[in-house]
Amino acid sequence: MSTVAEQTTAVPTGTWSIDPAHSSVEFQVKHLGIATVKGRAPVVRGTIEGGDTPTIEGTVDVTSFTTFDETRDGHLQSPDFFDAERYPELRFESTKVDARGEELLVSGDLTIKGVTKPVELRGTFAGSGVDPWGNERIGLDLEGTIDRTEWGVSWNAPLPGGGFLLPDNVRLAASFSAVKAG
């Protein structure tokens, strides 16, 4: 994995393990063009490397996605969307992290349904601290928009008045809490 930082990052030096209990990946789409529907998944595993050449990588268990509607969640697991049986994970690996103070521009490769495409995410280094059990922690928040059809997530339904049930664009947001590795 090639990684270059154009400026010194605010992310402290070290290896940080993403804490799935305090991290998530979310998506948002407009249903019928009028209501925002959100889905959420915990980050199953991931690592953030801080310092002069920061990296971010993470994997999400597709079956953990929830929109808080069992019927819709089942449809998301089907071949119409994520095809969870064949492709149980989504994966992100950074190729470049450009940090300007606490602002981050993260370029990387996103893999969905076995298709890997480049994406760009923007965000912030949310800070660092020590939790009540003595663990050093950092936080990162990232977001961006992708065209889901580029990854083969293209199911849709036409509307009687024209247009489609779902847009192609999906907003992604990730919030990570990570613990410094021993």
pTM flag (> 0.85): yes
What pLDDT, in 10s, does the model give residues 100-154?
877 899 999 999 999 999 999 999 998 899 999 999 999 999 999 999 999 999 9
| C-alpha–C-alpha distance, residues 44 and 62, integer Å | 10
Domain contains 75? yes
Q: How many domains does the chain have?
A: 1
Domain contains 27? yes
SS3 state of residue 114:
coil
Sign of CA dihedral 18, 21, 22, 28: positive
Residue type, 35: A
Domain contains 134? yes
What pLDDT, in 10s, does the model give residues 68-107?
999 999 999 999 999 999 999 999 999 999 988 778 999 9
Domain contains 20? yes
Residues near 135 by beta carbon (within 8 Å), at least 6 away in sequence: 179, 180
Domain contains 62? yes
Q: 35: domain CATH number?
A: 2.40.128.110
Q: Which domain holds residue 41?
A: 14-180
Of 33, 23, 24, residue with least CA distance to 169: 33
